[in-house]
């Protein structure tokens, strides 16, 4: 299980990423346990956090995930919130069993930056390399 935080240049970049992750989860490319979005719109005085954005009450897998009590650590959300810049958004992802190459390919052409994780330095380097080998 790993938690990663990705920053996007606009306030809606994280929303598009959530839709893409939901598709990948339904195709068993990644097992998404929890997702939070943090946005800092130009009109807001600070970043706004929206937790558990992939919850789907009728889905059996969502029920199983809730039973596992997997959730993003509040300290991680606060750290990412502190890293936010005006006019950006971030996606905080708790996941397991990702087919890294397939996930990276699904995000081709989308500028995103890994800003935090609970991974080792070597794992972070591998993740950055997988996502930096794409245009955009």
For residue 136, the model assigns a pLDDT of: 45
- Residue 53 confidence class, pLDDT cut points 50, 70, 90: confident
- Per the structure, the count of domains in the chain is 1
Segment 119-131 shows an average pLDDT of 90
Helix runs in the chain, H state only: 13-26, 60-67, 74-83, 100-106, 121-132
42 lies in which domain range?
2-132
pLDDT of 134 strictly over 50 = no
Segment 57-85 shows an average pLDDT of 72
pLDDT of 84 strictly over 90 = yes
Name the strands in the sheet holding 48-50, side by side, starting at the edge strand that comes first in the sequence: 48-50, 31-39, 89-96, 2-8, 112-117
């Amino acid at each position: 299980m790993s938690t990663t935080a990705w920053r996007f240049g606009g306030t809606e970049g994280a929303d598009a990423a959530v839709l893409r992750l939901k598709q990948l989860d339904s195709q068993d490319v990644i097992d998404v346990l929890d997702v939070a979005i943090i946005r800092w719109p130009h009109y807001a005085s600070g970043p706004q956090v929206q937790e558990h954005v992939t919850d789907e009450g009728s889905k059996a897998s969502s029920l199983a995930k809730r039973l596992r009590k997997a959730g993003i650590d509040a300290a991680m959300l606060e750290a990412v919130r502190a890293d936010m810049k005006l006019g950006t958004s971030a996606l905080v992802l708790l996941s397991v069993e990702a087919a890294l190459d397939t996930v990276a390919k699904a995000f081709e052409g989308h500028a995103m930056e890994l800003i935090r994780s609970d991974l080792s330095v070597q794992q972070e380097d591998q993740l950055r390399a997988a996502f930096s080998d794409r245009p955009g």
